[in-house]
Amino acid sequence: MVSMKKERIDVLLQQQGFFDSREQAKRAVMAGEVYDENDQRYDKPGSKIPGDTTLHLKGKHMPYVSRGGLKLAKAMKVFALDVKGKNVLDIGSSTGGFTDVMLQNGAAHSYALDVGTNQLVWKLREDPRVTVMEQTNFRYSQLADFTYGQPEFATIDVSFISLRLILPNLATILKPGGTVVALIKPQFEAGPEYVGKGGIVRDPQVHRAVLERILNFALAHHYDVLNLDYSPIKGGTGNIEFITQLRLTNAVKPQAAASVSIDKTLQAAYQGLNNATK
């Protein structure tokens, strides 16, 4: 039996998406705000515990292996998505928040794909429903790489790369008619000249331009645009992010649903996240 590597509590908190820095995590631990799934409290940031331990903050139980799972959970609910019995593909899986959400919602199998390594939590790494595809650049993936079965549903949560480099190849792999839930991150879609101090995009016009560009790109590459909303939590550096639902189509001219409104989405995002923490 393989023993699980132990990790510092403050490091785990950062890995699971609760804080942007170890310093923030340390303060929370020393304040007595950090608990594990058995409600054991930790107060020493340097204490080492099994790396698959699911942590949560006082009064805030985390239902998924990482805070990032909350982003997909909102999409699943608001967009009324169904993954039961489906083979799903998690592009940019990281610690596995999206994979966890999909498995909890009945997905049959998940391909956890990431360009990095040793990020997926042990709980998911040893789950027979998960195929771990580490050190994999999706831009060069092929359908033959997905040996369990063709993905029918895909999620995208990538950093330091545009969705415009992901969507075209995904169209060659996803089952026709398949659903895509993509996280749109303005900080990685806008040019560097539009990203402000601390790596944050604050200009509403840049947000608008990014959304228009990505949605139009999707339409031009065989995807219908079915839904658009904002992420319920900000990204790691404090950026507002957006979630969209796409559908791979064989139609000559893909369509955007009449309900998709960039203006309404931006307004809701600014109101909903005005007082949100990172």
Sequence-ordered alpha helix ranges (H) in 119-249: 122-125, 167-170, 186-189, 204-220
Q: Give the pLDDT score at 61.
A: 62
Rg (CA), the chain: 19
Helix count and strand count (H, E) for the chain = 9, 12
DSSP three-state, residue 97? helix
In CATH terms, the superfamily for domain 6-57 is RNA-binding S4 domain (3.10.290.10)
Which of 17, 1, 4 minimizes the C-alpha distance to 124?
4
The encoded tokens of residue 56 equal 């949560």
DSSP three-state, residue 130? strand
Q: Give the pLDDT score at 272.
A: 82
In CATH terms, the superfamily for domain 69-272 is Vaccinia Virus protein VP39 (3.40.50.150)
Q: Give, for all 278 residues of the chain, the pLDDT tens digit.
A: 445 578 889 888 877 767 767 788 888 899 888 888 777 889 998 989 887 777 878 766 667 887 789 899 999 999 999 999 999 999 999 989 999 999 999 999 999 999 999 889 888 999 999 999 999 999 999 999 999 999 999 999 999 999 999 999 999 999 999 999 999 999 999 988 888 888 889 899 999 999 999 999 999 999 999 999 999 888 767 889 999 999 999 999 999 999 999 999 999 999 888 644 33
Q: Give the pLDDT score at 60.
A: 66
Domain boundaries, the chain: 6-57, 69-272
Which of 126, 134, 132 minimizes the C-alpha distance to 3?
126
Q: Give the pLDDT score at 278.
A: 38
Beta strands in the chain (DSSP E): 6-8, 34-36, 41-42, 48-50, 55-57, 87-91, 109-113, 130-133, 153-156, 179-184, 223-230, 242-248
